[in-house]
Amino acid sequence: MGAIKGVFLVFFSILLIISSFFSILFFSLNQSMAYNNFENTSLKLVNNYLINNDSLNSVINEETEFLKLYCEENPHNLSLSELSYSFNFSDYKIKIPCDKINDTSFLINESVRSLVHEIYFKDYNCSFIDCFNKEQIPTFLASEKTYLLLRKTFFIFLIISLSLLIFIFLLLKNKINILLLASIPIFVSSFLFLKLNSILISFFGKEDLIKEIIDILFYSSNKTSIRLIILSGILFSVWIILKIFKSSVKIKEKFDKIKEKMQKIKEINKQEKTQEDKTQNKNAKNIEETETNEQNKDKNNKKEDDF
């Protein structure tokens, strides 16, 4: 029975390391794909790509005159910061605020920012697999749809990891060891994931574009890994403290038992000594009585001889 438990324990522990790794992977990807993080990391990539293809620049040049005219006329009587001009680029609508229309670099950066926003929040009416088949360029991968899918996948692996922890806890004889068995998969998975970014770049990141895509996808990897390594260290420290406390309690209990045995031995010795003293007193008394009786007997014999 113990051998079977040991096999299951090893099996579940290996599964826990795997599920922990994928939990960390999808959590980190999910955090990287959150809009604020994604916008900050993807602007440079999209900007470089569009400038190199000269596609956005040409559209902006064509729209500049209309943009200036629209902003000067201000048909809605709004402040320049509130007023914006919209134009189409590919299948996306780009909005440019009117307060800095004379700044060419701002126009390009703001156009890219608007394009990233449109791509990210576009309503992709298709399943994940269907979107691959429908779109030549899978822009839906850089969308809120992917962000939500990653979050859902993370929760699935998190539930699997927690379920495995419960199974391991039930198999353990010493329940405190669950802290150790929880800290090890977290540490191993986090350490592997900490190196994953550099490993992927060394294998696939020879081109700048691929390297930048990997950097975007694993933007939160270092922060996530370091936090989880700290968490594993805390769990391991708590396990050590509890083991020391438990050992000290056991040592104290042993000392208490030894002290109790010594006390019992003292009481037994005391009782034996008391009993021995009583026996000696009784024997002395018996001897004294015997001597007295003999003396009385001698006196009586002497009296009889006198008669």
Helix axes 35-53, 144-171, angle to 10 degrees: 140
The pLDDT of residue 44 is above 60: yes
| pLDDT, position 291 | 61
> How far is Cα 232 from Cα 2, in angstroms, rounded to an integer?
28
| pLDDT, position 1 | 56
The tokens of 87 are what?
A: 């134009």
For the chain, the average pLDDT equals 77
| pLDDT, position 208 | 66
Residue percentage of the chain with pLDDT more than 90: 10
Kindly list the domain boundaries of the chain, sorted by start residue: 2-75+112-243
How many CB atoms are located within 10 Å of the residue 157 CB?
Answer: 19
pTM summary value: 0.70
